[in-house]
Chains A and B, each alone.
Chain A
């Protein structure tokens, strides 16, 4: 088993707004091993992007604040680093790819300059070396004729090419972890396929670990080793892609999987949506946050927030009457009191 590269422990990030305190990320723990691709999946406002920004030290004060937890990167807590030290991590050891390549590239700097900047600052390359490396990087991400492309500006690139350029930038300093926040959402389907294949290929070849943040369950199925599903600031289910899709144990995961029409299945006469809407993060209920939309709810869900616990162990416990541990390091975990019933329903639906 590969060593743990990034270990996020009990992370809580909050934003102070006029409407109250938004608990964007609420006591969340997950990890990424060397060379692994891990996904954070969820809908808008579930806390997936804020998780990435917290790791990069980019949560904007004064409204935003990391109020608790540790972010251990190779054993070192990033939250204790000074801004100067954090700068050496950002781009060098952990790089980020954003959703919107147009707004995250500098429009008044040439492509070449944006690529060489990091190489000169982080790796101490001379301008000539950096330029030669920049050309290599562009051809590595499949941009033909790099010499002609380097002096150009982002507006001269198409959306797909800009995203290739972002990938080149992210990989330029040979980081060990890349955070990709909805890397293909703004792209067309055929271009999406190109970019995802490129990312998979490069992460394998270079041994880079990847955190893929997305709302698209299909993208996750093909590219992620392990998947964390987030809802209302918390992780509600985690497992390998195979476990999660084949054997979902949280009503929200099951609901997401069943609500999307799929090309590989017979066309259903009617879709099965998750009714209602995500909760207001300033007024989270005491019990389970998914309760108002949940078809499996029981009395206990109103008062007791279900912890993430090992699916197999807690189901064994519910049969024998022995209560499971509060948190479990088991592979497939779900935060639901009724995970066994959810599993049975998923089984029956297949």
Chain B
């Protein structure tokens, strides 16, 4: 397999009155074609900025972004425009990311016209209809305005607009977090179906760890502009080696009162420090339950513990697996492999 996207040592700083916001501080990862990489973390960790840098909506301060083998950071606007066809984005808020004065049909047709992909109104209208049906909407929805649709329907329109370009990569920035619970699952299933149908590659940015586990092949956890841990789905959820990953996982409430009572919960003290003035040494050390003296001075590198599993923690080797979930994963992967249900993925 070849990497569709390769991000190396990405840095993005914002100059503000009070100093420099170090939003992204040396992030590296790659995404294979057809794969979904989940990027998780709390607000201000740099996950959205990372996504925007990849799309070149923000020009990075440093580092390299190779997309289909071509360097994006040095391209001019004209070159970028051509590349952007292949990289699309789905935003969090379906209310503010659709133009309220355009009909759904116009919203989806606009990029087709701008990029000269489909010329002629009749052909474009047919293509819009086709796209609407792919995302589970009806042809008559083309005449509606965004305010006449529900949140879930609007998110479908956003997905249709992204698909119109026949992209190879879609950056999904919190695509379901603004939606109601009963609608979230509809959209997640749709994203998975489209991935299977068109061979799409996703960078899935989210803060909901359960959703990320469901949709991702690999997961990267960010904290204060850096990757704390990265691994395939199974490893990161069954055998997290960074104390921040462990705390995040234990903080997710589970809808089962009996389990919740038994569950041990790591409640982190304090709050995420400001990226204006990140802590010295390991950025996580002021909140870390296992920090030692060394962590205050020495920045831990993202080290590879086993193939494909990296953690930026001096004590990663001493972390033991979380017992409550051990085993759960093996069963699910076995079920996936057996192809028990439609849409089962091949386990990697």
Interface residues of A (CB under 8 A from B): 43-44, 158, 160-161, 188-194, 196-197, 215-222, 241-242, 245-246, 255-257, 259-275, 277-278
Contact = CB atoms under 8 A, between A and B. Distances in A.
B340 interface: yes
Contacts of B271: 158, 160-161, 191
Contacts of B186: 273, 275
Contacts of B258: 242, 246
B182 A255 contact: yes
B185 A260 contact: yes
A276 to B, nearest CB: 9
A274 B181 CA distance: 9
Contacts of B152: 277
Given A221-B256, A261-B210, A263-B252, A188 B185 contact: no
Given A216-B253, A242-B257, A271 B248 contact: no
A221 B255 contact: yes
A-B pairs with lowest CB-CB distance, top 9: A218-B253, A266-B332, A273-B185, A188-B42, A261-B214, A217-B255, A43-B180, A274-B182, A271-B185
Contact of A222 (B260, B267, B269): B260
B181 A264 contact: no
A190 B214 contact: no
A44 B341 contact: no
Contacts of B268: 190, 193-194
A256 B43 contact: no
Contact of B344 (A44, A188, A269): A269
B328 A264 contact: yes
Contact of B341 (A216, A246, A269): A269
Contacts of B272: 188
Given A197-B265, A220-B255, 15 more contacts: A190-B251, A190-B267, A215-B181, A259-B184, A261-B188, A263-B254, A266-B331, A267-B329, A269-B343, A269-B345, A270-B189, A273-B186, A274-B182, A277-B150, A277-B153
A282 to B, nearest CB: 14
Nearest to B185: A273
A184 to B, nearest CB: 10
Contacts of B42: 188-191
Contact of B181 (A194, A221, A256, A265): A256
Given A267-B214, A277-B152, A188 B335 contact: no
A117 B344 CA distance: 59
Nearest to B180: A43
A76 B45 CA distance: 49
Contacts of B345: 269
A263 B252 CA distance: 8
B251 A261 contact: no
Contacts of A197: 265, 267
A266 B214 contact: no
A125 to B, nearest CB: 31
A221 B331 contact: no
Nearest to A227: B257
A270 B341 contact: yes
Nearest to A272: B185
A263 B213 CA distance: 8
A265 B210 CA distance: 10
Nearest to B249: A263
Given A262-B210, A268-B214, A271-B185, A222 B341 contact: no
B274 to A, nearest CB: 9
B159 to A, nearest CB: 15
Interface in B201-225: 207, 209-211, 213-214
Contacts of A264: 254, 256, 259, 324-325, 328
A218 B340 CA distance: 27
Contacts of A256: 181-182
Contacts of A263: 209-210, 213, 237, 249, 252, 254, 325
Contacts of A215: 180-181
| Listed residue (A192, A193, A255) with the most chain B CB atoms within 10 angstroms of its CB | A193
25 contacts: A188-B42, A188-B272, A189-B42, A193-B265, A193-B268, A196-B253, A218-B253, A218-B254, A221-B255, A221-B260, A222-B260, A245-B257, A246-B258, A259-B182, A261-B210, A261-B214, A263-B237, A264-B259, A266-B329, A267-B233, A267-B333, A268-B341, A273-B183, A275-B186, A278-B182
A218 B252 contact: yes
B336 interface: yes
Contact of A260 (B151, B255, B342): B255
B248 A266 contact: no
Nearest to B136: A275
Given A261-B213, A263-B210, A268-B332, A277 B257 contact: no
A16 B258 CA distance: 43
B169 to A, nearest CB: 23
B192 interface: yes
Contact of A189 (B185, B248, B333, B341): B248
B252 A189 contact: yes
Nearest to B152: A277
A261 B254 CA distance: 10
Contacts of A190: 42, 247-248, 251, 267-268
B331 A260 contact: no
Interface in B302-338: 324-325, 328-329, 331-333, 335-336
B182 A267 contact: no
